Amino acid sequence: MKAAVSKIDLKLFRAIFNFRRNTVLPLIFRIISFIGDGYFYGLYFLYLYFSKNDIFKPALFVFLLAFAIELPIYRILKNSIRRVRPFNAHDEVENMVYPLDEFSFPSGHTSAAFMIAMIIAHFTPFLAIPLFIFAFLVGMARIYLGVHYPSDIIGGAIYGTGMTQVAILIVEKLILN
């Protein structure tokens, strides 16, 4: 079973990685990946602070708690699973960005993007669709740029979504009640 999943994963990776390399896509995906680094996530909280002050504190608590729960478990997962990145495992794959750590599973960029999308969907639902599309594109960018397999992205999306749900439940039960 594991071999079949790995084979499908590699086939999907190559299809995405090799798609239209001689276009503007590499630049677009580099930009998406850069935004997915998290530098702009604080803009959402500035927006809340100035326009929706009543939900600013609960949203900030969820954000801080989600990352406080997610980050240590993420590090343990990454260093326990120790999945080799595509550009290190396959000679024909050249990475177009430099990852922050050595291993591939789960995708931290995707996890963070889905965490932010979940937080925003919970507190400002009208922004949910564009943010989930962006989170998906962050994951696709990481594949396209040669640093993750599709299963890393799926794992990151599930993990980030799950950690945010836990944080939302904790904040709603302990802090808001």
Q: Is 53 exposed, middle or buried (0-12, 13-18, 19+ CB in 10 A)?
A: exposed
* Residues 103, 161: Cα–Cα separation, whole Å: 21
Among 105, 111, 148, 156, the active-site one is 148
Q: Are 130 and 37 in contact (CB under 8 A)?
A: no
Residue 90 appears among annotated catalytic residues: no
Residue 122 appears among annotated catalytic residues: no
* Residues 99, 22: Cα–Cα separation, whole Å: 23
Among 83, 85, 109, 142, the active-site one is 109
Active-site amino acid positions:
109, 148
